[in-house]
Amino acid sequence: MYLASVDIHSRLPRALAISRSFVSLHILVDLGITRCQLGKFPRQPHISLLSTCELAVQEAVQTVYLSSHFHGIVLTFTNNSILFSTFEVHTGTTLIPTFYVAPGLIHISLAMDVPGIALITGAASGIGRACAKTFTRDGASGIALIDLNPQALAAVKAEIEEQSRKQGKPCRVETYPTDISDENRVNQVVQQVAATFGRLDYVVNAAGIAMKHTGGAAFCETADWERILNINLTGTFFVLRAAAQIMLKQEPLRSSYDGRPLQRGSIVNFSSIQGVAGIAWSTAYTATKHAVIGLTRTASEDYAKDGLRINAICPGYTETPLTTKSPQILAAMKDKVANAVPMERMGQPEEIADGVVYLSGGRASFVTGTALFVDGGYTQR
Q: What is the 3-state secondary structure (H, E, C) of 245-288?
A: HHHCCCCCEECCCCCCEEECEEEEEECCHHHCCCCCCCHHHHHH
β-pair partners for 269: 205, 312
C-alpha span between 366 and 96 (Å, rounded) = 33
Question: Are 148 and 239 contained in the same domain?
Answer: yes
Residues 227 and 330 in one domain: yes
Of the listed 2, 202, 289, 317, which one is catalytic?
289
Asked if 157 and 194 sit in the same domain, the reply is: yes
| Statement to judge: residues 105 and 133 lie in one domain | no
Assess whether 40 carries a catalytic annotation: no
Alpha helices in 168-262 (DSSP H): 183-197, 222-229, 236-247
The last residue of a domain, from among 49, 75, 110: 110
Active-site residue among 2, 100, 202, 285? 285
- The count of structural domains within the chain is 2
Are 237 and 98 part of one and the same domain? no
Regarding whether 301 and 256 lie in a shared domain, the answer is: yes
Residue among 140, 16, 10, 32 at smallest CA distance from 66: 16
pTM comes to 0.73
Render each residue's pLDDT in the chain as its tens digit; 381 residues: 223 333 333 333 322 222 222 223 333 333 222 222 223 323 322 222 222 222 222 222 233 332 222 233 333 333 333 333 333 333 333 323 333 333 333 334 447 899 999 999 999 999 999 999 999 999 999 999 999 999 999 999 999 999 999 999 899 999 999 999 999 999 999 999 999 999 999 999 999 999 999 999 999 999 999 999 999 999 999 999 999 999 999 999 988 878 888 899 999 999 999 999 998 999 999 999 999 999 999 999 999 999 999 999 999 999 987 677 778 778 877 888 999 999 999 999 999 999 999 999 999 999 999 999 999 999 998
Which of these three, 78, 110, 142, is where a domain ends? Answer: 110
Query: What span, in angstroms and rounded, lies between the C-alpha atoms of 217 and 282?
Result: 8
Do 103 and 127 reside in the same domain of the chain? no
Q: Which residues form the domain of 72?
A: 1-110
Q: Which of 79, 110, 141 represents a domain boundary (last residue)?
A: 110
Alpha carbons 24 and 30: distance in angstroms, whole number = 18
285 in catalytic set: yes
Same domain, 53 and 97: yes
Quick one: 159 and 292 in the same domain? yes
CATH number at residue 297: 3.40.50.720
